[in-house]
Amino acid sequence: MSNNIIQIKIEVKKPGLKRKLDEIIHSVEGMHVQMSHDTRRAGLLIFELGDDIDNEFQHIRSLLNSDAAAEVFLISENSDPAVLMQAIKTGAKEFFTLPLKEEEVKQALKELKKKIKRANRRNSPKIGQIITVVGSKGGIGTTTVAVNLAVNLAQKKSVQSVALIDMNMMFGEIPLFLEIKPGYHWGEIVKNISRLDSTFLMNTLTKHSSGVHILPSPGSLNGSASAVPEMMGHLTGFMQKLFDFVVIDAGQSTNEISLKILEMSDNILLMSLLSLPCLSNANKLLQSISDLGFLPEERIRIVINRYLTKSEISLHDAEESIHKKIFWTIPNDYNTTMSAINNGKPLSEIASKAQITRNLNDLADTFAPKEKNQTTRWWEILKTKRR
């Protein structure tokens, strides 16, 4: 998404410093260094102070005041208090001394990126996160994870709304997992795509007692005959505007529609077991997704289900075979997962204390915004008052 790229203007004097900064910036995704003649507004100005400090600060202030640059990082050999004071007054967000510490700069860039992203989210209409759960094989717990992730997210205080879409054509099982009797499936929405508005959509979704809004898949192939990737893309994009999270059970499918959904995803959870066939499939899938270049490597997350510490294949072996870090492991617990499925209930309802339930709740925490801890905040205030 090119409009999310942060433009960086660099004004430095020392030979080599520009190249060093270019390298660091290049290693942080989503940033672009402007050419010297680029007059576009910069999200960040990186400026090296020299000998003519007063004039240089004047120049920086004029760039900030005219909004030619939104933020400024300073680099200087001179870190005496007077210079630091000026830097603070000017509103510099960071002050780096030479020689430059690569990690420090990288960290500051990442922080800035987060800050800009938060501000963009606040200013733009709601755009939820799409999390797609995709299996490297059938029967490995893709639906279990998608369903419980959606339910757990819906139960977080910081999350207001969650939708769950079943993309398993014909063999969608979400209604069974959550014991609901849906009136509609997405095949019907796609048939009437020109009528799609929020009222129509909300009327077709089925609300589970956890708060999750469910959109099942067509139970037969003819129900989705007219579904083309663009329409599913449009529908998913529309849902993204109404929900904080859109969790998608993509099953094991790699058809055109799933590709469209993978392309739109903010995060992909690629499910695998620690078995050779599964890892081999995961490898192929991972490679295909990377080749398509849909989303940065770190947004494709490998999840190992049914994990046993004494497995013949270690996590390390698995990581070597797929050339990627494993993001999450879910413990093996057939009885609890099966009991949840057979009762048509989420794990949090059937076995709230079980290790697997807590594990999947922690997985949801990695996506949900942090909840503000009121107790701690008041405690902090009291502590400072007592002093």
Q: Which residues bind ligand ADP (CB under 6 A)?
A: 135, 138-144, 305-306, 330, 332-334, 337-338, 341, 356
For strands 42-48 and 69-76, give the pairing.
parallel
Residue with smaller CB distance to ligand ADP, 24 or 133: 133
Q: Which helix (H) or strand (E) holds 132?
A: strand 129-135
The residue with its CB nearest to Mg ion is: 143
Residue with smaller CB distance to ligand ADP, 142 or 240: 142
Residue with smaller CB distance to ligand ADP, 184 or 307: 307
What's the min distance (Å) between Cβ of 106 and Mg ion? 40
Residue at token pair 């990442």: 110
By CB under 5 A, the count of residues binding Mg ion is 2
Q: Which does 386 bind (CB under 5 to 8 A by kind): Mg ion, ligand ADP, none?
A: none
Q: Which does 141 bind (CB under 5 to 8 A by kind): ligand ADP, Mg ion, none?
A: ligand ADP
Choose the stretch contacting Mg ion; rule: CB under 5 A; options: 142-150, 270-278, 305-313, 351-359: 142-150
Q: Which two tokens stand for residue 282?
A: 């995961």
- Name the DSSP class of 205: S
Residue with smaller CB distance to ligand ADP, 43 or 251: 251
Choose the stretch contacting Mg ion; rule: CB under 5 A; options: 5-13, 104-112, 136-144, 198-206: 136-144
Q: Would you say the C-alpha torsion 300, 306, 312, 316 has a positive or negative sign?
A: positive
Residue with smaller CB distance to ligand ADP, 7 or 332: 332
Exposure string (b/e) for 47-78, b if CB count within 10 Å is 16 or more? Answer: bbbeeeeeebbeebeebbeeeebbbbbbbbee
Residue with smaller CB distance to Mg ion, 17 or 180: 180
Residue 143 within binding range of Mg ion, rule CB under 5 A = yes
Q: Which does 345 bind (CB under 5 to 8 A by kind): Mg ion, ligand ADP, none?
A: none
User: Is residue 86 a contact partner of residue 53, using CB atoms and an 8 Å limit?
Assistant: yes
Q: Around Cβ 242, how many Cβ atoms within 10 Å?
A: 16
What's the min distance (Å) between Cβ of 249 and ligand ADP? 7
Q: Which does 236 bind (CB under 5 to 8 A by kind): ligand ADP, Mg ion, none?
A: none
Choose the stretch contacting Mg ion; rule: CB under 5 A; options: 29-37, 66-74, 138-146, 369-377: 138-146
- Helix, strand or coil, per DSSP, at residue 290: helix
For strands 129-135 and 267-272, give the pairing.
parallel
Q: Would you say the C-alpha torsion 228, 230, 235, 239 has a positive or negative sign?
A: positive
Termini Cα distance of the chain: 49
- Name the DSSP class of 108: H
**Interface positions with Mg ion (CB under 5 A):** 142-143
